[in-house]
Amino acid sequence: MSKNASQQISRRKILKLMGLGTLGVGLAACAAPATQQPVAPTAPQAPQEEIKPTEAPAAPGQVTLDVVMDTPEYQNQHRQIFDIFEQENPGVKINFTTHSEDGQPAYVAKVAGGYIPAMESVWASGNSFKLNKDTFKNAIDLSTIDYPYYDLFTYPLKTAWVDIYSESGPRCIDPFNGPVMTWMFHEDLLDKAGLNPIGKVKTWDDLKMWLDEGSKWAKTPDSGVQFFWDQAWLNPWFGWHLHYDTIPLAFPDGQRENQIACWKGEKPFNAEDSPYRHTIMFYKEAYDKGWLPENFWTRGWENDMEASFAAKKSAVMLHGPWPWDKTLAIDPNAKQAGMPATPPAAGQTQWMQLQPDPGVDGSSMATMIRTGNETKPEYDMIKKLFIWWNSPDIVRLRAEAIGFVPAMKLDPPAELTGPQLVNTVLEIEKPGGKWENVKWERSISGELQMGAKRKGGSPGVFDVESGNIAKIWADVMTGKMTIQEYLDILQKNYEASYT
């Protein structure tokens, strides 16, 4: 470029360029996707394999039903199940799409703009989205659609919504138990290190000793791992009931009834015997003793923690079913094993395992029919699809395809092959099973029971939706805030959030 360049572009030229550029961009945006309109070759070409469009246009007279879900990891399995519906119902096409957490806000905006899919998972709108007293009218009252399978459910689906929210319902159906948090580990790694916990870890103190020994082993040069127990952060998973409600079950005063008492306002969250004190104390001790990665709240859930585990750069996680599958996808020869989350502490005689709530007001597996569908001419077909999707035979297929435990009595029962299920979850309370002496805690959480009482726009006890909780955890872990101060915040949040 010459510094003496005197050629100047006129404003008029700029205007022309901008105008034509914008027009071009606008036209390009309006153009149909190439996949829908394959361009005919202009010259004879060698025979090629036909490229199928990803979404074939519906034939004349055909009904197209949009289904939207938030679990792209199960896209292929669900797609195959929807193919069955298409085969059973000629003339019906299921346009099935999924999106991850990143796509949820865009989807919400699309719905706000008037888009009404035939069926959707409740969490398509967001991981913490609930059909509560402020939002339940988004979903059709399912008591109006003659759903015939209520009696098969292992929880009171038909009345739970009415009992909790005092509104007619249900508004969504989740045919599965909530995902269970258990310890998981690379069995071969721990066998080699002499740290396999099965048979050795029987109490809470044993568990802490195991974590301590494991962390020391991880620091040895020949361990091959970066961490023994890896932990990361993801809103709203961390610091939600998966952690808060699980850990206290190891302690006598941490049992469900005491947790529920806090939620019902019968016991302050910051009481000396608050069940939630145990969760914070356990993590604080783990952080102080170096059992957890430094600044673990800055570690990415998938990129750091799950990826490290799958690559055997860490040995242990406290997690749900998903990473078992992810690890096998990366390393089909991985030898994973698990252990129920909370062996008993002093004074607690029973080893408990939390079974999180079913999705009464929403979950990733709970589906709903959005309000507005009832005026569509194809509403009968939409209802048929919804009932079919939540029918025993299809729930069995879904359970077998994605490895979730059905919350329905199925005959024959689903053949569940999920690695966490087979290794750990299905062994709990099973006579003769590996964990027959461990007992499920299946009662409904205090948070769900108080669902109708939560003020819209309030932080909630743990302030998970906003992400503010992460900084507080960081402050507690690094000693900038005491455990009591944190519990005080929980109580303050409770008072601000519940009527």
For other proteins, give the closer residue by CB, 18 or 56: 18
Pairing of strands 367-368, 119-121: antiparallel
**Which residues face 353 on adjacent strands?**
440
Give the residue, chosen from 58, 109, 198, 329, that forms a contact with other proteins under the rule CB under 8 A. Answer: 109
Give the residue, chosen from 105, 224, 433, 479, that forms a contact with other proteins under the rule CB under 8 A. Answer: 105
**Which residues face 173 on adjacent strands?**
367
The secondary structure of 51-74 as a DSSP string is: ---SSPPPPTT-EEEEEEES-GGG
The answer to the question of residue 244 lying near other proteins (CB under 8 A) is no
The answer to the question of residue 220 lying near other proteins (CB under 8 A) is no
**Residue of 248, 274, 254 lying closest to 262 (CA atoms):** 274
Q: Count CB neighbours of 8 within 10 A.
A: 7
Q: Count CB neighbours of 451 within 10 A.
A: 22
The answer to the question of residue 28 lying near other proteins (CB under 8 A) is no
> Of 103-111, 165-173, 266-274, 344-352, which segment contacts other proteins by CB under 8 A?
103-111
**SS3 of residue 80 by DSSP:** helix
Print the binding letters for residues 224-243 with other proteins: x by CB under 8 A, - otherwise: --x------xxx--------
The answer to the question of residue 22 lying near other proteins (CB under 8 A) is yes
Give the residue, chosen from 333, 412, 457, 499, that forms a contact with other proteins under the rule CB under 8 A. Answer: 457
Q: What angle do CA 397, 400, 403 make, to 5 degrees?
A: 135
For other proteins, give the closer residue by CB, 27 or 39: 27
- Whole-number Å distance between alpha carbons of 335 and 173: 35
For other proteins, give the closer residue by CB, 15 or 346: 15
CB 259 within 8 A of CB 449: no
Pairing of strands 63-69, 439-441: unpaired
Amino acid at 162: V
Question: For residues 443, 446, 448 and 449, what is the CA-based torsion angle, rounded to 10 degrees?
Answer: 90
> Of 21-29, 68-76, 327-335, 349-357, which segment contacts other proteins by CB under 8 A?
21-29
- Whole-number Å distance between alpha carbons of 132 and 249: 27
CB 249 within 8 A of CB 441: yes
Give the residue, chosen from 75, 95, 97, 135, that forms a contact with other proteins under the rule CB under 8 A. Answer: 135
Give the residue, chosen from 35, 295, 437, 484, that forms a contact with other proteins under the rule CB under 8 A. Answer: 295
The answer to the question of residue 470 lying near other proteins (CB under 8 A) is yes
Q: Count CB neighbours of 499 within 10 A.
A: 9
Give the residue, chosen from 73, 86, 134, 393, that forms a contact with other proteins under the rule CB under 8 A. Answer: 134
Give the residue, chosen from 124, 258, 465, 486, that forms a contact with other proteins under the rule CB under 8 A. Answer: 465
The answer to the question of residue 20 lying near other proteins (CB under 8 A) is yes
CB 235 within 8 A of CB 464: yes
The answer to the question of residue 4 lying near other proteins (CB under 8 A) is yes
The answer to the question of residue 126 lying near other proteins (CB under 8 A) is yes
The answer to the question of residue 311 lying near other proteins (CB under 8 A) is no
For other proteins, give the closer residue by CB, 15 or 198: 15
Q: Count CB neighbours of 384 within 10 A.
A: 17
Give the residue, chosen from 5, 28, 32, 59, that forms a contact with other proteins under the rule CB under 8 A. Answer: 5
The answer to the question of residue 2 lying near other proteins (CB under 8 A) is yes
* Neighbouring residues of 228: CB distance < 8 A, sequence distance ≥ 6: 211, 214, 215, 217, 218, 291, 314, 315, 316
For other proteins, give the closer residue by CB, 59 or 112: 112
> Of 107-115, 250-258, 268-276, 318-326, which segment contacts other proteins by CB under 8 A?
107-115
* Shortest CB 402 distance to other proteins, Å: 26
* Shortest CB 283 distance to other proteins, Å: 14
The answer to the question of residue 116 lying near other proteins (CB under 8 A) is no
> Of 130-138, 171-179, 200-208, 380-388, which segment contacts other proteins by CB under 8 A?
130-138
* Shortest CB 163 distance to other proteins, Å: 21
Print the binding letters for residues 353-372 with other proteins: x by CB under 8 A, - otherwise: --------------------
The answer to the question of residue 111 lying near other proteins (CB under 8 A) is yes
Distances 230 to 221, 235, 307 between C-alpha atoms, Å = 18, 17, 11
Distances 294 to 230, 247, 279, 289, 499 between C-alpha atoms, Å = 10, 21, 18, 11, 39
Give the residue, chosen from 78, 93, 133, 171, that forms a contact with other proteins under the rule CB under 8 A. Answer: 133
* Ramachandran category for residue 352: left, alpha or beta (phi over 0 → left; psi -120 to 50 → alpha): beta
* Shortest CB 149 distance to other proteins, Å: 27
The answer to the question of residue 459 lying near other proteins (CB under 8 A) is yes
Pairing of strands 439-441, 92-98: unpaired
Binding site for other proteins (CB under 8 A): 1-6, 10-12, 15-16, 18-20, 22-23, 26, 104-105, 108-109, 111-112, 125-126, 128-129, 133-138, 226, 233-235, 294-295, 297-300, 303-304, 456-457, 459, 465-468, 470-471, 473-474, 496
